[in-house]
Amino acid sequence: MNPKANPLSGIEILKTADTKALAGFSAIIDVRSPSEFAEDHAPGAINLPVLTDEERAEVGTIYVQQSRFLARRIGAAHVARNIARHLETALAGETGAFQPLVYCWRGGQRSQAMATILSQVGWRTTLLEGGYKTWRRQVTARLYDGELPFRLIVLDGNTGSGKTEVLLRLAELGQQVVDLEGLAAHRGSLLGGFRDRPQPSQKMFESRLLALLDGFDPARPVFVEAESSKVGERMVPPALWQAMAAAPRIEIAAESLARARYLVRAYRDIIGDRAALDEALRRMPTPPGRKRLAAWGELADAGDFEALALALMELHYDPAYRRSRRKETRSLLGVVDAGELEAADLDAAAAEILRRVAD
């Protein structure tokens, strides 16, 4: 939808927030506070807050405890100073051809203040009607209430069979790939967190997912790794989960010892953090007894992480996969042997998957 000008201010108004419409601007400026922006924002947006978190809290307190007039006067002073700083820093290099889209929480005073000044500078400025909430409605309509128009193919297989690496190789080969673990910053298992990468909020996870899907061609297949309904603490949205549940699958297979070696490589960061490893082992869905925990601790002390991985696979991962496979209703397109799970084996597995899909 093309933006329409507001005759009173010269600011144009955009009424929709789909990714195609958002792509038509030089910059998407989110003027909300940094904490609001960190929770979620429109794809590609930059944060130029007109009120910091502290200033927003200050104005809100004055509004409630003293007077609306005083809160607005102090707030206006903060807003003016912050917009001036953005003009002198982040926006200093923009030419007259700059065409920004501005939004705040729901298209109110914060975004209107920024849009008014940018428009007066001479830039063709557009305001997103309804602000961030318009974008959020787009996300929920598509990922909760709608159906995805894609032909999904699920990569399945035991833990440690290299599914994620094969998925990424498919992406390198130009295939359409949804890397849920990458989007959720979690490897989707008991030991799956990243020490230096906290998970995004649920809203941010969904925004990243929708932006990715909107770049796909519905006429081509989309590959996704088999996951539970949650990746760490992030829930797979219903539209994608339902599509995954109905999609055909390709199983990636490898022997136990090869998978154990692969897990040691893939989880090197957890192995290097003994406290995190011990805590993860204590949280297993099948609670280990004290003797078993002690035995696992001895393996870790000895640096025998392959044996520890084999033990975890035998106790938890492989039985869980066998149980889920007994309930499986999705069609199987084939089983691909990933050999020793070395780089060449994973390359060959990706090529074989493409051959199976093409047949």
As to burial, measured by CB atoms within 10 angstroms (0-12 exposed, 13-18 middle, 19+ buried), residue 14 is: buried
10 Å Cβ neighbour count for 84? 11
Q: Classify 7 as helix, strand or coil.
A: coil
Annotated catalytic residue within 91, 104, 243, 277: 104
In this structure, what token pair is assigned to residue 71? 């809160």
Q: Which residues pair with 251 in a beta bridge?
A: 156, 335
Contacts 24+ apart (CB under 8 A), 350-358: 350/166, 350/169, 350/170, 350/173, 351/173, 353/155, 353/166, 353/170, 353/223, 353/250, 354/170, 354/173, 354/175, 356/250, 357/153, 357/221, 357/250, 357/333
**Residues 207, 43 contacting (CB under 8 angstroms):** yes
**Nearest-angstrom CA–CA distance, 297 and 303:** 10
**Nearest-angstrom CA–CA distance, 342 and 121:** 58
Catalytic site includes residue 104: yes
Phi/psi zone of residue 162: left (φ > 0), alpha (ψ -120 to 50 degrees), beta? left
Give me the active site residues, please: 104
